[in-house]
Amino acid sequence: MEEKNSNTNLIVKTTSLAMHIVSDYIRPGDTVVDCTMGNGYDTLSLAAAAGCTDNSALRGRVYAFDIQQQAVDATKAYLLKNGITDPQANGIYLIRDSHAEMERYLPDPSETEISAFVFNLGFLPGKDKSVMTTAETSLPAVKKAIRMVRQNGIVSVMAYTGHKEGEEEYAVISEFLKTLPSKKYHVAYVNMINQKKTAPSLFLITPKVRERNIL
């Protein structure tokens, strides 16, 4: 689990930087979404921020998505290793489906505010590299997340340009995010300008107004 005040060098580890920023937008009791569950590291960090990992009276909800059963199994195992035997009882929902389908599982955002959506694109490290996110589903999913996140909430998108599909995905998402109206959204971009091409880039989006039909 990412400790808020750990000695992690946030500039070196972009995933930790993303979670450090995202956590600041989440309070115990909040509802949040991990759009790419993978090995469950982000799921657990989000669960901790939302109050799902202890006996907090303010227990939130985490919805985590992945298309691979391997990811669901790895996440279950990682949660168990961290003391969570029954994820659902802790408000953590592990869903084997595409992030493009997420509205089928999430609460209605007009009734339950959703504070954060986290995308860590690409493939599962150390596993089948042919199963990866692609712009075909990640772009619509990012658009949905931006539409559903609460005002002053956060959508975080980590993108990788080290492989051909990733490069394409990064370009499509980047071009779309540039078109978001500046009066309604703030979009930040973090890029490692002196590192290898495989270093990830991070997009952070926050809506300044609550407007659902803009995209």
User: Which residues are at the interface with ligand SAM (CB under 6 A)?
Assistant: 36, 38-42, 65-68, 71, 98-100, 120, 122-124, 131-133, 137
Report yes or no: 122 and 166 within 8 Å, Cβ to Cβ.
yes
**Minimum separation from the CB atom of position 184 to ligand SAM (A):** 26
Identify which of residues 41 and 203 has a Cβ nearer to ligand SAM in the complex. Answer: 41
| Minimal distance, residue 5 CB to ligand SAM, in Å | 20
Distances in Å between the alpha carbon of 49 and those of 7, 23, 24, 27?
Answer: 18, 6, 8, 6
Closest CB to ligand SAM among residues 147, 210: 147
Minimal distance, residue 121 CB to ligand SAM, in Å: 6
Nearer to ligand SAM, 32 or 185 (CB): 32
Nearest-angstrom CA–CA distance, 185 and 80: 38
Helix axes 41-49, 69-81, angle to 10 degrees: 50
Output the residue with the shortest Cβ distance to ligand SAM.
38
Smallest separation (angstroms) from ligand SAM to the CB of 35: 6
Closest to ligand SAM by CB, 100 vs 146, is: 100
